[in-house]
Structures are given as structure tokens and as C-alpha cells.
Amino acid sequence: MHPAASADKKEKEAAMQAIRARLQHRLNPLHIYCRLRDCGLGDQTAQRLSSCWERLVYRLVLA
């Protein structure tokens, strides 16, 4: 493999890891819970929604 191609591949992999890390943070159930609370939802409602989020989306997509 050409050295420039190898460097380009490493840059792409690093970029993908950075995107994944950012998505994991933003879509984390605890982050979702906090944002729901910031929007004024009650504690139990935010807990239920973030729990559903974790089961239905987060685990399937990012975990």
C-alpha cells in the first residue's frame, strides 16, 4: 500500500472514531435524560423516556 494511502486511511478511521464518540455522548441515555429535564419534563417522565430510548435506539445503534 502506498504511504499516502495508508495515511489517508488512518485519517478516515480517526475521523470515524471521533464521530462515533460524539454520537455516543450526545445520544447517551443519561445525556438524553438531562436534556429532557432541561426542557421541563418531570423526573419520572424523563426517566421513562430515556429508558425507552436506551432500549429501543441506543443499544441497537451505538452500543
Q: What is the mean pLDDT of the chain?
A: 90
- Determine the average pLDDT of the residues in 24-51: 95
| pLDDT range class, residue 16, cuts 50, 70, 90 | very high
Quickly list H helices, the chain: 3-26, 29-38, 43-53, 59-61
| pLDDT range class, residue 2, cuts 50, 70, 90 | low
CA angle 50, 54, 60 (to 5 degrees): 155
Q: 56: helix, coil or strand?
A: helix
- Determine the average pLDDT of the residues in 17-42: 94
Q: Is the dihedral of CA 2, 8, 11, 16 positive or negative?
A: negative
Q: Where are the domains of the chain?
A: 3-61
Question: Residue 57 carries which DSSP code?
Answer: I
Is the model's pLDDT at 32 over the cut of 80? yes
Q: Check residue 63 and give its pLDDT.
A: 61
